[in-house]
Structure 1
Amino acid sequence: MFGWGRRRRDAEPGAVDEPDAADEYPPQAGPYDATEAPDDGVERLDLGSVRLPVPEGGQLQVEVDPAGPVRAVHLVTQVGRLTVSAFAAPRSGDLWPEVSEELAEQLRADGARVIAEEGDWGVELVADSPKAALRFVGVDGPRWLLRGVAAGPAEHAEACTKLLYAVLDETVVVRGEEPLPVRTPLPIELPEPILRHIQQAQTNGQAG
């Protein structure tokens, strides 16, 4: 089961089916720390530092450095591309307000028009660039920051945003106990079948 927009149900009446009095959805929603991950039956792709639900029809796109480490994992859907990444954060939290300000400055310097909006998790950045409509969402957790990015055509921006909210709602972050400098990306570990597929593709490319 993949929970569409559960967190935003009250904010956008009519956007999804309204629950009745017998609705058993828990009042809280994700993203979740691994220590509080619910046993909810949601199928999640285990990427080491994050466990992501994959929307129906979504495809995995992996960016790998030539040296080997995975740089990023994207979920490619019919309405756009979603990217969810986790970073080390201080115990005090509140890293996203600082990061979002820097990100907004960088986007504006690159020529994008940026608007800051208040969302359920705090400040969200909406940016229009020549290539895509973008939305950045940050969630401060216990010693981690989860950042979600929705990128796609302007005509699909609303649908892509709702899909990003739904993915974040069901994501589990595995911070680990290792001390890490603040803002360090938490390592991504690919499942063995996906890793073998990438290695085979690289080998075939070199052979060609």
Structure 2
Amino acid sequence: MFGWGRRGKRADDAAADEALYDEVEDLDTGGGPFDESEAPDDQVERLDLGSVRLPVPEGGQLQVEVDPAGPVRAVHLVTPVGRLTVSAFAAPRSSGLWAEVSAELGEQLRKDGARVHTEQGDWGTELVADSPKAALRFVGVDGPRWLLRGVAAGPGEVAKDCAKLLYAVLDETIVVRGADPLPVRTPLPIELPEAILRHIQQAQAQAQNNGQTG
């Protein structure tokens, strides 16, 4: 994984953390997530990852999970209250994929030893799991030919704040499905901004050189 820190307007980490918690407490629903065709003309600064455009919370960091062959597996937002992961998948024209996916996910989590229950949220059924490693919350949003899944993972004592921050990110996320036909459940491709891509390539090259000289 490679990390990328967002540069905030504040000079010190304490002030940035305070701003993050203010953001958690004062959520303003954006009415999203949005399909690209209905993207709002607002002043929200979003990180363009190709299939998703999402806001990065003040004080948050971007972590990119990359396959050895090169494709990006996932992008995570790491915040003081936990890690957020937002992913988009191809879905059928008829809605309802999340109900099917969440049921399978809940079954798998139980097999892995987690305590799982469901809750009703603004977008329908949410999956809440308590595992030995972290408190997890899975939120799914069925859109036009896409499914957006958000995951909040963090310590149990701040799980509520982590969930609220996930809601805020999903509220302002834009999904770019594209016109290409794709099998249902296919992850929509992630495309990294050029600056982040260069950073990852440099880190990979440095790691390879260190391995050769070690």
AA aligned opposite 1:125: L
Contact 2:50 2:189 in 1 (8 A): yes
Question: Structure 1 residues 4 and 169, CA, compared in 2 at 3 Å: closer, same or farther?
Answer: farther
Runs of 4 or more off by more than 3 Å in structure 1? 2-5
How far residue 119 of structure 1 moved from its aligned partner, in angstroms, is 0.8
Q: Deviations over 1:73-126 (max 9, x none)?
A: 000000000000000000011100000000000000000000101111010001
Output the TM-score relative to the length of structure 2: 0.86
Residue among 156, 172, 190 paired with 1:170? 172
**Distance (whole Å) between structure 1 residues aligned to residue 68 and residue 208 of structure 2:** 12
Identity of counterpart residues, as a percentage? 79
> Which segments of 5 or more consecutive residues in structure 1 lack a partner in the other structure?
6-14, 18-24
1:14-64 per-position Cα deviation (integer Å, ceiling 9, x unaligned): x648xxxxxxx8x87000000000011100000000001000000000000
- Letter of the 1:36 counterpart: E
- What is the CA RMSD across the aligned residues, in angstroms? 1.7
Where does residue 55 of structure 2 map in the other structure? Answer: 53
Aligned amino acid, residue 135 of structure 2: A
Map of 1:1-208 to 2, 5 A cutoff? 16=26, 29-208=31-210
CA distance in structure 1 between the partners assigned to 2:26 and 2:186 by the alignment: 36
Measure the CA separation in 1 of the matches of 2:30 and 2:65: 33
Taking a change above 3 Å as real, the CA distance of residues 4 and 122 of structure 1, as seen in their structure-2 partners, is farther
Once the two structures are TM-superposed, the CA of residue 4 in structure 1 deviates from its matched residue by: 5.0
Which structure has the highest helix share of the two?
A: 2
TM-score normalised per structure 1: 0.88
CA distance in 2, matches of 1:83, 1:160: 11
Amino acid at match of 1:61: Q
Structure 2 gap ranges (5+): 1-19
Matched residues in 1 for 2:131 and 2:30: separation? 34
SS of 2:205's partner is: helix
Distance 1:61 1:204 in 2: 18
| Conserved? CA contact 1:124–1:136, under 8 Å | yes
Distance (whole Å) between structure 1 residues aligned to residue 102 and residue 196 of structure 2: 32
Query: How many residues end up aligned between the 2 structures?
Result: 190
Secondary structure of the equivalent of 2:108?
helix
